[in-house]
Structure 1
Amino acid sequence: MFGTSGIRGPIGETVTAELALDVGRAVASEGADRVVVGRDTRETGPALVDALSAGLRECGSDVVSLGEVPTPTVARAVEWYDADAGVTVTASHNPASDNGLKLWTDDGAAYVGTRQEGVADRIRQGRYDFVAWDEYGDRTRGRDARTRHVRAVVDAVAAEYVANRDGADRGGGTGAGGDAVDLGLDVVVDAGNGSGRITARALRRLGCSVETIAAEPDGTFPSRPSEPTAENCETLRRVVAATDADLGIAHDGDADRMRAVDGLGEFLAGDTLLALFARDAADAGERVAVPIDTSIAVDTTLEAIGASTTHTRVGDGHVAERTRESDVVFGGEPSGAWIWPDLTRCPDGTLAAAKLAELVARRGPLDRLAAGVETVPLRRTNVETDAKREVVEHVAERVGDRYANVTTVDGVRVDVDAGWFLVRASGTQPLVRVTAEAGVDSEMESLFETATGLVEEAREAVAPAASD
């Protein structure tokens, strides 16, 4: 039921109003007395919010409804409205035909482990704690959530800039408040017709000149697919390259992800951006939480300053959980999820955009910063299949006797002297994700071909029709 990032899938198949109703019932029955609810721009969002809210209320939970807002706004608002949990109706970077639900704890982290299993078990068993007719929960509107989100981002980043500028201030602001700081950057923000348009507001408050692309909310995503990849963000790349912009920002549908384009119009690899954020956040002796599919370039970058990584399963909830350890000061995923646990345990695309702008204003052009990250040949691809878990299991059986160093904490990872490859089932889409990395291109390509060959062989073995 739950993948790496909540519940997601095609509307009318995996995700239905009945499922949303049951999720609401289960969350309330697990003890959440007040729940914050929001949604992204998808066309099916309002109906699912209504069903979710009905389930919450008939099991006694009060609902604070935020309407259409970014996912990190919902996660942050759990604390703002003194709630016990939050639920976002979103499929994040998935296609417009999908939707889903993502659950948030009272400290802004995604449900994982026992919290997630408690909800799933109740739904499987149909075990809900219904209340009497006169004990139904109330439904109220939280009207200032976007404003509070922008203010929180601006205040945090402005304070950091003032504390760290030490003569490197490009904008010349002198105050400690957000409105007194001038980062002095030109930024292009591609909201992808999702909920991330508040990023433009935050950056303007920080003294940036901002041009927007696809800022009109439209859950059919007419401007580009929701996932902010290099291919999908070609318009952003062209606009940045053709202007004097210092950088470009791209979000997915619910703005929990943030990807970046440098001033030359080059789309930064997720691992490079992760290394830049990690190096800026960590000091000697501290750790950064990253998923198992992260490039060793991040390890190398951190080793240079005496810091290190700690690996988790893929999924921002697992990364956030690791940041509860006292020496873990930052967490991130190459896909574009970035977590500063002292501010929020939810990946916050608006916060990440403002943090990146502050970093560029303080340390110089993004292309030069990226050039300072020593990259390692790495390649990723996705293989479509409706039998993703069976394919991964088949690969695990094949590699068990062929390689000495096999890890199955999340999919199948094989480490050899030259490098490593990972085969894992996507937690959000009908895909098997393949990653390979090695010290030189030829060895990386060899590992990549081995991994993709194993996946294709497994796909034919477990679902012959998929290869027709």
Structure 2
Amino acid sequence: MGKLFGTDGIRGVANVYPMTPEVVLSVGKAVAHVFKEKCGKEKPKFVIGKDTRISGYMLENALASGIISVGADVLLVGPMPTPAIAHLTKSLNADAGIVLSASHNPAEDNGIKIFSEDGHKLPDNVEEEIEKYILSEKVKTEQIKGDLIGKAYRIADAKGRYIEFVKASVNSMNLKGLKIVLDCANGAAYNTAPYILSELGAEVVVLNDKPDGLNINLDCGAIHPEKMMALVKKEKADIGIALDGDADRVIVCDEKGRIVDGDHIIAICAIDLKENGSLKKNHVVVTVMANKGFDIAMEKKKIKVVKTNVGDRHVVDEMRRKGYVLGGEQSGHIIFSNYTTTGDGIISALQLLKIIKEKRTKLSKLAECMKSLPQVIVNVAVKEKKNINKLKIYKNIKRAESHLSKKGRVLVRYSGTQNLCRIMIEGENKREIQKIANDIAKEMKKEIGI
């Protein structure tokens, strides 16, 4: 068995190692054992949620069985957004929360994300301890008999709890007069997001809210927002909102059907928070993937920018460490720490809608606060993740950096969740940077590609 935890939990093809029922059973045992020792309770409680993948039924039962066999209780909430599990873990006074989801990945994948009792993702040392027990298979359950065995409970009001929590993040403000196209990605928010927006008074045109276990993220949602963009123009809507499979990220489009990505949403919200005197320490946190145009926009408003490695957990860690209130990623993971402990696509969308409503302006006008430099991203499937600095292609990368100088940048990194190398180039000339990216990708594929 190899290393299980990546940058965002455990992830892989369902029914293939490590996302097999056998391994997930061991995950349940290990998690329950570690938290049982950590919290010192006779019967700790674990919230389990999932997205709409067909494999969720199989893996949910395996995970719950593992936890129960160690003498802990399980609170099953069914299909719910990942951020909902973070909230419910605190709301239900549970000792940890576990989500079965592969986020924006295709339906055949699945994954495991774990939250501690405070709703934050586990630190590396706790994941390492859990992994040690999984791989060693040293969690014994023979002594757990009779009434020591745990129980599983279905939490009937979980959906309502989350809906009210999200609405409270904007004080249940009235969205009457706004027409919204909402793409649920046939994912975990299909039975919450439409209700939230409708109950707040908006006119909602809903797309992709009929999951069948296989259509999650399929040509829809935050990864494929094209249908949403077209429908916004057709319906003459004010905004389009596209969530991903587990609804922890959001991408929107303006009333003209033009994409407004995470960088722009963060910029709009950062400026609004500063104007309201609510941008704590005058800082915003983004990752190294943020467009150079974001830096330019923040500099104009005299807002300081902190950059982290890719991954929302790194953004959250920096925000917690320094007490910042806003951070996120270009991909649409956005964290408003006054309300959430992790990225929440619905809450992020509501914060943007609040600004639109209060300023009585169009999203297209708000988005003018930032102008993105042309950016190209090319993915290369790789056999293994070798140190990029030691590859032959590294000379080409350095040459491209020197050529672009201060008028652009080059970022070559491996995906934390897939065997991919991502080649990102920014610059003033789209044709030029596309050629640079393609050339690097071609050589990368020759050297370590599949």
- 1:199 positional shift: 1.4
Question: What does residue range 65-464 of structure 1 map to in structure 2 within 5 Å?
Answer: 65-128=76-139, 130=141, 131-134=143-146, 135-158=148-171, 178=172, 181-197=174-190, 198-221=192-215, 224-225=218-219, 228-229=222-223, 232-282=224-274, 283=279, 285-363=281-359, 364-385=361-382, 387-390=383-386, 393-394=387-388, 396-398=390-392, 416-438=405-427, 440-441=428-429, 445-446=432-433, 449-463=435-449
Which residue identity is paired with 1:244? K
- For 1:413 and 1:425, locate their aligned partners in 2 and report how far apart those are by CA, in whole Å: 22
Deviation at 1:102, TM superposition (A): 1.0
- How has the CA–CA distance of structure 1 residues 6 and 277 changed in structure 2, closer, same or farther, with 3 Å as cutoff? farther
Extract unaligned runs of 5+ from structure 1. 159-177, 407-411
What is the deviation of 1:284?
Answer: 7.4
2:189 counterpart SS class: coil
The Cα shift of 1:301 comes to 2.4
Stretch moving more, 85-94 or 190-199: 190-199
Alpha-carbon deviations, 1:182-202, whole Å to 9, x = none?
452111111121122311211
Which has the higher mean CA deviation after the structures are superposed, 422-431 or 40-49?
Answer: 422-431
Per the TM alignment, residue 240 of structure 1 is displaced from its structure 2 partner at its CA by 0.5
How far residue 77 of structure 1 moved from its aligned partner, in angstroms, is 0.5
| Equivalent pair of 1:422/1:451 in contact (CA under 8 Å) | no
Question: Could you tell me which amino acid in structure 1 is paired with residue 288 of structure 2?
Answer: I
In 2, the alpha carbon distance for the partners of 1:413 and 1:25 equals: 52
Moved more, 181-190 or 124-133: 124-133
Structure 2: give runs of 5+ residues left out of the alignment.
Answer: 37-43
Give the TM-score, by structure 2 length: 0.88
**How many residues are aligned here?**
431
Alpha-carbon contact 1:320-1:331 (below 8 Å) kept: yes
1:273-326 deviation per Cα after TM superposition (whole angstroms, max 9, x unaligned):
232233334537422221121112222222233322222221122211112134
Give the 3 Å change call, closer, same or farther, for CA 254–458 of structure 1 in structure 2: same
Tell me if structure 1 keeps the 8 A contact 2:217–2:244.
no
413 and 148 in structure 1: CA distance in 2 versus 1, 3 angstrom threshold: farther
- Check conservation: 1:109, 1:321, Cα contact below 8 A: no
Whole-angstrom distance in 2 between the partners of 1:260 and 1:309: 23
> Aligned partner of 1:16: which letter?
T
Q: Which residue in the other structure is 2:39 paired with?
A: none
* Cα distance, 1:379 vs structure 2: 1.9
Identity of aligned pairs, percent? 31
CA distance in 1, matches of 2:399, 2:269: 30
Tell me the distance in 1 between the aligned counterparts of 2:144 and 2:111. 29
1:187-228 deviation per Cα after TM superposition (whole angstroms, max 9, x unaligned): 111112112231121112222111111112222117833652
Q: Which amino acid aligns with 1:4?
A: T
1:414 and 1:398 map into 2 onto residues whose CA distance is 18
Aligned 8 A contact 2:184 2:221 in 1: no
Give SS of 1:228's match: helix
Letter in 2 for 1:139: A
Moved more, 372-381 or 394-403: 394-403
Q: Deviations over 1:150-184 (max 9, x none)?
A: 111111213xxxxxxxxxxxxxxxxxxx2x63452
